[in-house]
Amino acid sequence: MDQLVSTEWLAGEMGASDLRVVDATYFLPDAGRNARAEYEGGHIPGAVFMDIAELADASGDLPNMLPSAEKFASRMQSLGLGDGSRIVLYDDSPLRSSARAWWMLTMFGAHSVAILDGGLPKWKSEDRPLETGRPEVRHRHFTVWKDDKQVAKKADVMANLHDKHAELVDARPSARFTGEEPEPRGDLASGHIPGSHSTPHGQFFHGDGTWKTGDELKAVFEDAGVDLDKPMITSCGSGMTAAVPLFAVHLLGKEDVRLYDGAWTEWATDPHTPKATA
């Protein structure tokens, strides 16, 4: 299974015993939308709902930080996702939250995970079937392990300011990157991590919501001044859309990429970290 699959491919695979479809839609708290309610109102047949908001470390002050491996495995087992599953993720979110779900699943040990190109909007636009409610699922064993090499911490980003070993890309909107537009959280400083490149996550998609690929995808990074031959660290506001450029470079075959989970929220609240607006 490819990392990116089409609606036509998924329609042809429906009913396969090892296939698990997952709705990974997530909205910001102030979006005025309820991801679970929308899922129950209509989803791809057989899909289960992954509550990304709940898949976080609730012990700290930072949003969206990775949960423990044990918590993650428990939640996946309750969704019927386990060893031997082929997992296809989709969403209906402007944040493209299925990329975050893809990152977490692959980092915690899932071996066959893909994103549905175009997500639920494309599936609906083709008049493909939907179902409502919640399907009954059978718990499956999920063998979990954590690949910390895919995670960057604040200390790693701080060190990178000096050795410039990796390219740092920021998936927030450009006006937030420059500081022209304030952060959604009013207590956060504006601007960006010095030396980072602005790559707003929406630039990685066509107008119909499908992913750019190949040379079009490379051009997004190159136009932002990113050297794709160097390792990469991705960031955003709270670790959600940072998964979009991370998945994008995986589509290009690049694997030396990490996600800064604390992201701008952690960086901006530390008075000792440098901030830039130019």
52 and 128 Cβ atoms separated by less than 8 Å: no
Element (H, E) at 197: strand 197-198
> How many whole angstroms separate alpha carbon 106 and alpha carbon 161?
28
Phi, psi (rounded to 5 degrees) for 233: -125, 130
> How many whole angstroms separate alpha carbon 47 and alpha carbon 135?
7
Cβ atoms within 10 Å, residue 189: 16
In Å, what is the CA distance from 23 to each residue of 26, 65, 103? 9, 20, 15
- Give Cα 272 to chain centroid, integer Å: 28
Known catalytic residues are 236
Largest CA distance in the chain: 54
Q: At what angle do helices 214-223 and 243-251 cross, to 10 degrees?
A: 130
Which residues on adjacent β-strands are paired with residue 235? 170
